[in-house]
Structure 1
């Protein structure tokens, strides 16, 4: 929303609009945890929001839980191309766990978008889901390419470091305690989710998606325990 302000290079659009002036049009690509929360916040600010996803069960869930709070659509290159000219903001929230994010908006599509429209790339830690994405910082968060503003801050939760650290600690503490009490081998043997989180051991890469992305050989983590 801050990037949409005219002083920051955006279109000068208020997310919720005002009486007589329409709200911002926001497209969220990906209906997972990040995309759902992005859509909820944008809709809460009064924006006209559409969430795209390729999972029909997920789209049904969003419709059931959020009703008419925002629109949903089955994600495809054709539908995205239809929506890009209408969008004031596109939020990329696509995640393939452990792997590089797919590039969903190309630079040659910028010409069909509104000047000053904003791309927010929440997948930047996985390489970004827009062709022109590059990681930025909270100190210098935005840049412009062909009239389109980019907000691609790596570690966005770092802006609210206290809240995000406490939340992360709450989520990871059970795993840390298991590792401390049992040792890594037994903890991973007892918990398949923890085993799935093993990336490297003794110089060997154990995460297949990372190996595929980097062109490196991987070993089955089960063989290590």
Structure 2
């Protein structure tokens, strides 16, 4: 199978979908790899390293899409890429269809095969291709939140961990999954008082056991959240429903309960956001204020630390990508239930129910497409 890796062109997205080591693995399995020139530079990989590993460097994104049977990316295609996508071309990347109706319609119209990293799912319901970026995003949420709590950045002017004789900041984390757990680890490590909420009592019991004494767990419901937001200095949205829009746990009216200069970091923004007033921002313009509340809603947070993120992501995606290349997407998805759940749009049909439900579109059972 011919593999193509275009350069990411989303705002300040410096990750790349394949490392030179990944190229070597594809070549070992007999697959030619075409990399767009400078695609890996943002992550610290020069064209010469890819060439040494056996890749062919192409000068333009158009050339990569034209030759490839499988496109391996990090982020969803943006508008300028839509017309480059060919019928039956396999795209393996993060899509987050439930947060973008135009993207959903575009992929339907292109008759592409869209296999989404974020819905590849193991039997235990874990999401192996979302985990590494969730770990990065969770840790970054505290790093960025701490920065924007500084007064020159619009925040309350609070040091997250406080000092002797001065109380530390209060951090509220909505969701106890991978993002929330990593955020809690970072925040507690910096000395903040942390409260993490979730609807799963078993998860809260686990977090109670593994997190240090400066972390509390609380059952997630509207009443408790309304009480907690008034006391919090930094609030992290870390809610995920695989393939679907995140629910709004913080609504517009709750901003009036918060202290001026409170910082909101919505890690779920690429799935529609769990904070009603959050809309996607970029690394170039990461924040905005509403009613004196700072909103940080960058949709590709891990893109700010591309070296770490690229290595973490490709460690997880490469084994699946090799399977797709060796067997073709139909056989690979038939034999591997994890990959099968990654299929979202196939040849003009939506085969992932949560995506169809998000936009009121027709759902086609995957069995009809694979048979």
Asked if 1:170 is matched to 2:330, the reply is no
Q: Which structure 2 residues correspond to residues 4-153 of structure 1 after superposition, within 5 A?
A: 4-153=149-298
Aligned to 2:325: 180
Separation of aligned partners in 1, 2:319 and 2:150: 42
Aligned to 2:346: 201
SS of the equivalent of 1:2 reads helix
Structure whose alpha-carbon radius of gyration is higher = 2
What RMSD, in angstroms, separates the aligned Cα atoms of the two structures?
0.9
Q: Deviations over 1:186-212 (max 9, x none)?
A: 111111111001011111111100110
Moved more, 60-69 or 97-106: 60-69
Separation of aligned partners in 1, 2:192 and 2:323: 43
Show structure 2 runs of 5+ residues with no match.
1-145
Q: Deviations over 1:6-53 (max 9, x none)?
A: 001000000000101100100000000001001111111111001000
SS of the equivalent of 1:128 reads coil
Q: Deviations over 1:145-166 (max 9, x none)?
A: 0010000001100000111111
Aligned to 2:334: 189
- Structure with bigger RCO (C-alpha 8 Å, 6+ apart): 2
Asked if 1:224 is matched to 2:369, the reply is yes
Moved more, 16-25 or 97-106: 97-106
Q: 1:154 aligns with which of 299, 309, 315?
A: 299
SS of the equivalent of 2:289 reads strand
Please report how far the alpha carbon of residue 66 of structure 1 lies from its aligned counterpart in structure 2 after TM superposition. 2.1
Show structure 1 runs of 5+ residues with no match.
none
Please report how far the alpha carbon of residue 170 of structure 1 lies from its aligned counterpart in structure 2 after TM superposition. 0.5
Contact 2:191 2:214 in 1 (8 A): no
SS of the equivalent of 1:49 reads strand
